[in-house]
Structures are given as C-alpha cells and as structure tokens.
Amino acid sequence: MDWEQGELRNIRVKPPRRRPGGAQDWVDLMIPAPYDRIVAQMISEDCYATIHSEHEAVRRQSYAIETLEEFCK
C-alpha cells in the first residue's frame, strides 16, 4: 500500500509490560488513516464495558483488548 503524507494518524499506546514492575511509557505510533476508525472503535468497546458489565459488553471488551494488543505488536 502507498500512503500520501497526511493520511497517517498518530495514536498513543502503552506497550505490554516486559518485566514485572518495569516502566511503561506511552509510545506514539503512526498508522494508516483507515485503521484510525477501527482502533477508535476497539477503544470505545473497551471503555463501554468498564461502565456496563453485561455479558455482551464484557465479551466485546475481551475481543477488543486482544485485538488492540496484537495490532500494537
């Protein structure tokens, strides 16, 4: 894929802990613009389940967290 300048979006993520008690600094990543909306939706699913604890919300949160962790790798 080829992206023009300006079609990338900045996201801030915390990488998984590499060692117990290790520092976790936020990391800035640039992602292709179409992925920006997908990442935002996954973050929304995660946040929603922290407020509403019904089964479907928690199930979707679990999927969102796993997807975001893999995406950040």
The structural domains of the chain, with segments of one domain joined by +, span: 43-73
Q: In the 8-state DSSP scheme, what is residue 20?
A: T
Percent of the chain with pLDDT over 90: 12
Beta-bridge mates of residue 13? 27
- pLDDT average, residue stretch 20-40: 78
pLDDT at 11: 84
What is the residue-averaged pLDDT of the chain? 80
| HSE (side-chain half, CA atoms, 13 Å) at 48 | 18
* Residue that has been written with the tokens 């199930």 in this structure: 59
Place of tokens 């990391």: 27
- Of the given ranges (21-25, 36-40, 69-73), which has the lowest mean pLDDT? 21-25
DSSP β-bridge partners for residue 30: 10
SS3 46: helix
Q: How many CA atoms lie within 13 A of 30 on its CB side?
A: 6
Q: pTM for the full model?
A: 0.66
